[in-house]
Structure 1
Amino acid sequence: MSLFLYLILLISEHHATTHCAPPNSSEGKVTTCNLPKQNATLYKMSSINADFAFNLYRRVTAETSDRNIFFSPVSISAALAMLSFGAGSRTQTQILEVMGFNLTDTPVAEIQQGFQHLICSLNFPKKELELKMGSALFIGKQLKPLKKFLDDVKSLYETDIFSTDFSNISSAQQEINCHVEKQTKGKIVGLIPDLKLHTIMVMVNYVHFKAQWANPFHPSKTEDSSSFFVDKITTVQVPMMHQMEQYYHLVDTELNCTVLQMDYTKNALALLVLPKEGQMEWVEATISSKTLKKWNHLLQKRWVDLFVPKFSISATYDLGTMLLKMGLEDAFAENADFPGFTEDTDLKLSYAAHKAGLHLGEEGTEDIVNPEIGFLGKFETTLQPIIRFDKPFLLMILEKSTRSILFLGKVVNPIEV
């Protein structure tokens, strides 16, 4: 039997002018999830999940070093954790060890509880920040899923479960695509163009994220055409946002890069990492959860003359191929062990896909008043540091309370489609 796993997340938007489709009818439903307190497990998980994110990033960049990279680490971690919940013996151990967990130090039950706290914390309503992580399981009508599994994935992972007739390929495909389109407010349409024969289960995981900059860029300051140096021989023209503002930033002499923190209005931030010329590979090879902790302590708020390109970035990955190379072998093999899912046997993972996208812009419309706009002239003549993101840089978006990396990527060419 084949288990098709799709890890999908929403394209994030930062424009106040974005018009989303009306919310689906399931929004606003009462949830039993109560916001958990910070605990040792959640704190430990942030470091483990971050290191998994960077390890996966290094695997991606090994395959596509000269292309844009973009994915959602927290989405992938949550989906793999849910997959491990139905796995047994060596299959479960492999999944969790690939994710970076040491089962001697952190028992499986503690990991599951940690992800329950993580998902609950991310989904807890926050003013001025739209953030929702969701999952759905589409299970073939012929399967006999275990009641304990169904109950647990609902309570631990807030997962919707649907009994689906996969013998009718077109109908099943439409059901899945319609659900994803509704949950992502119309941002992902036609997710699965060609559902495979003999599919018996599809797992969908998504993240919806929309936030406003704490200090939005003024559109009148955006340069319509500015040079971005893709490499030594390639230059492209991009809209370049410009602002004189106070930002947390630092120069990391060990990693040979400049780090800038751009805050959103509520509970989220973006980290932009600009390596010095020729140092991108060194930064990529070295960055870790310890690096993030170091930066968090060393970042200082100062005035900056900032230039950031306005761009969209997206990517789709055959995640299964990368996970295999990272050591996740049994889940895809004939000896795969998933006794927690169903009474049926011979269940294995056949395909894992991941799709992500983001738009980064000024945030705001013409009538938004930037509180610093009247003071720009006073600072333009002083020796403020000038930071221009006009060559390849790394991008991270983090949720503050859990220190989760929502998105991780590299902008090599901001006009690449």
Structure 2
Amino acid sequence: MPFIFVVTYMCFLAPVHQAALPNMTISDLSYKNMDFAMDLYRKISSYHDNNVFFSPLSISTSFAALLMASGGGTHQEILRGLNLQQLEVADQPELIPRLFQLLQENIAQNGSLKVDQSMALFIRQQFEVEKAFEDKMRTFFHADIKTVDFADTKGSVRYINEYIRQKTKDKITEMLSTLDETTLLLLINSVFFQGTWLMPFNSNLTRNGPFYIDNYNIMQVPMMFKEDKFYTMEDVPLGARVLKLPYQEGVSMLILLPNKGIDYTVIDDEITAEKFLSWVKELRKTRLEVSMPKFKMEQEYSLHNLLPDMGMVSLFGSSANLTRLSKEAGLKVSEVRHKAVVEVDETGTTAAAATTTGIIPYSLPRMFTVNRPFFFFIYHEDTNCLLFMGRVIDPSSN
């Protein structure tokens, strides 16, 4: 059976200004994407107790493109899997891809914000893709559409890896090692973010300190240190504290740190889009001494093994309906790979002091020490779009 091969990948390199969102339709999309992200995180984490890192935006965008290619039950399964069924309007078939287009434009409207998202469609020679699908890929996702000789597997792998290397600024150099010579189409989506802290850490203050993986495993890791005024809050029912670390130009990292003695696995099921937005809303500024580990992770996931458990079944089997992609019969998606790289360190340049207007005293301990497993979320503030999320169990493990 001919098949389609999908690759999603992202790369984030790192070392809050908040605005009202005028377009509620983009807000709805961001909210739905966030709940999909939390569901996918729980699916990934159910398989292991290791580090987790992925880009919900990259994965959602790739499958939004496949929505335009699918029909019947396959289309409905993708909608439900992405948690987008409530945004589907019968007489507006282009509404969801249009929302993704608006979201991307909103994120990219600040010219100095380095969040680059791109999509590419690599098509086998002589394979006929519906012109309407190609046109929509260019219109809504600004996709590069390229013809490739997949029969030359080694040449195709080199060509596609070079494309990915350029798009991720050399951070992902070998996404593919092999390709099936019967591949008809390869869909690539990338999200690349390089951020500098608005309030950088001083590398001269970085010292080795203990990180408590669990009650029996303690390791020494490089701990960054910064004393300043930070946005923070405490979720008492959840048993966790939240810290916001802003980057320059409207992107922030939100750290969720379970309280000492609270197992992070207990918190897994409680993380939702509603929870996330409540944390952001309740943040208050206070002076803190923040200690957190430097860490670097590279994670890769075979989503075709995870997504069927989230309802996307037919897409990967003989009953796949991809008739809007091509008139050729018997098409299915064979693989969906997602690779993510993150590096967090002291990097940053000194910026103007944060404003103190509207600061409210908040009774939290002066120390925020991230010395045990924690969650982190990278989000675009104006849209509340979740760009990346992860879980750090062992900051020394790459």
TM-score relative to the length of structure 2: 0.92
| 8 A contact 1:303–1:384 mirrored in 2 | no
Matching of residue 415 in structure 1 with residue 393 in structure 2: no
| 8 A contact 1:332–1:350 mirrored in 2 | yes
Distance in structure 1 (CA, Å) of the matches to 2:275 and 2:248: 24
Instruction: Name the residue aligned to 2:18.
Output: none
Instruction: Name the residue aligned to 1:120.
Output: 105
Deviation at 1:384, TM superposition (A): 5.6
1:112-142: per-residue Cα shift (whole Å, max 9, x none)?
2111111222233432x31111111111112
Matching of residue 67 in structure 1 with residue 50 in structure 2: yes
Instruction: Name the residue aligned to 1:31.
Output: none
Which of 84, 93, 107 is matched with 2:67 structurally?
A: 84
Which of 235, 242, 246 is matched with 1:263 structurally?
A: 246
Deviation at 1:109, TM superposition (A): 2.8
Matching of residue 157 in structure 1 with residue 141 in structure 2: yes
Distance in structure 2 (CA, Å) of the matches to 1:353 and 1:342: 22
1:163-191: per-residue Cα shift (whole Å, max 9, x none)?
11111111111111111111222221122
Q: Which amino acid aligns with 1:126?
A: G
Deviation at 1:273, TM superposition (A): 0.5
Q: Which amino acid aligns with 2:33?
A: N
Distance in structure 2 (CA, Å) of the matches to 1:274 and 1:95: 33
Instruction: Name the residue aligned to 1:279.
Output: 263
Q: How many residues align?
A: 379
Q: Which secondary structure does the structure 2 equivalent of 1:167 belong to?
A: coil
Distance in structure 2 (CA, Å) of the matches to 1:180 and 1:189: 7
Moved more, 97-106 or 152-161: 97-106
Distance in structure 2 (CA, Å) of the matches to 1:233 and 1:283: 20
| 8 A contact 1:122–1:133 mirrored in 2 | no
Q: Which secondary structure does the structure 2 equivalent of 1:176 belong to?
A: helix
TM-score relative to the length of structure 1: 0.87
Which of 197, 200, 209 is matched with 1:213 structurally?
A: 197
Task: List aligned pairs for 1:287-298, cutoff 5 A.
Answer: 287-298=271-282
Instruction: Name the residue aligned to 1:25.
Output: none
Matching of residue 392 in structure 1 with residue 393 in structure 2: no
Instruction: Name the residue aligned to 2:177.
Output: 193
Instruction: Name the residue aligned to 2:9.
Output: 8
Q: Which amino acid aligns with 2:370?
A: F
RMSD, aligned CA:
1.7
Task: List aligned pairs for 1:102-251, cutoff 5 A.
Answer: 102-103=85-86, 106-107=89-90, 108-127=93-112, 129-223=113-207, 225-251=208-234
| 8 A contact 1:249–1:260 mirrored in 2 | yes
Distance in structure 1 (CA, Å) of the matches to 2:196 and 2:314: 42
Q: Structure 1 residues 318, 369: closer, same or farther in 2, change over 3 A?
A: closer
Q: Which secondary structure does the structure 2 equivalent of 1:9 belong to?
A: strand
Instruction: Name the residue aligned to 1:93.
Output: 76
Q: Which amino acid aligns with 1:358?
A: V
Task: List aligned pairs for 1:234-383, cutoff 5 A.
Answer: 234-276=217-259, 277-364=261-348
1:12-71: per-residue Cα shift (whole Å, max 9, x none)?
2225xxxxxxxxxxxxxxxxxxxxx9423211111111100000000011011x100000
| 8 A contact 1:41–1:111 mirrored in 2 | no
Distance in structure 1 (CA, Å) of the matches to 2:288 and 2:352: 16
Distance in structure 1 (CA, Å) of the matches to 2:13 and 2:315: 34
Q: Which secondary structure does the structure 1 equivalent of 2:342 belong to?
A: strand
Deviation at 1:369, TM superposition (A): 5.7
Structure 1 gap segments, 5+ residues each:
16-36, 373-382
**What is the percentage of aligned positions where both structures have the same residue?**
28
Instruction: Name the residue aligned to 1:403.
Output: 384
| 8 A contact 1:14–1:212 mirrored in 2 | yes
Distance in structure 1 (CA, Å) of the matches to 2:290 and 2:110: 32
Q: Which secondary structure does the structure 2 equivalent of 1:194 belong to?
A: coil
| 8 A contact 2:377–2:388 mirrored in 1 | yes
1:300-350: per-residue Cα shift (whole Å, max 9, x none)?
000011101011122101111110111100101101011111221211010
Q: Which amino acid aligns with 1:91?
A: T
| 8 A contact 2:172–2:341 mirrored in 1 | no
Q: Which amino acid aligns with 1:409?
A: G
